[in-house]
Amino acid sequence: ISVVHCFYFRGGAELLFDGVKKHQVTLPCQPEPWDIRNLLKWIKQNLLKERPELFMQGESVRPGILVLINDADWELMGELDYKLQDQDNVLFISTLHGG
């Protein structure tokens, strides 16, 4: 069963992904369901093009990156433990702005 997801990067986060704001992705099959923790590792290895320290901190996104899952704050969804469902939309918005 292929599971298709859309990942969006906004607020400057897209600059770390070659300026691409929307990625439609079929994640590879694995024994356990995909959760956000595993997704972030996959994004870092497969989509992130530069300066991973501006997107990731440890195994999570760095502070200042807002994560929405189907338009809801990921804090309400279990954050790293949220199990991805088919057709989920995950939006990463950088709230950090240089001056």
Please state the rounded mean pLDDT for residues 91-96.
Answer: 90
Interatomic CA distance for residues 63 and 99, integer angstroms = 18
Is the Cβ–Cβ distance between 36 and 89 less than 8 Å? Answer: no
Hey, which residues does 35 pair with through a beta bridge?
A: 83
Q: Which residues contact 45 (CB under 8 A, 6 or more apart)?
A: none
Please state the rounded mean pLDDT for residues 4-19.
Answer: 91
Amino acid at 41: K
pTM above 0.75, yes or no: yes
CATH of domain 4-94: 3.10.20.30
Q: Enumerate the domain spans of the chain.
A: 4-94
Chain segment 36-60, per-residue pLDDT in tens: 999 999 999 999 999 999 999 999 9
Closest CA to 77 of 31, 36, 39, 42: 36
Is residue 89 over pLDDT 60? Answer: yes
Structure tokens that stand for 47 in this block:
């989509």
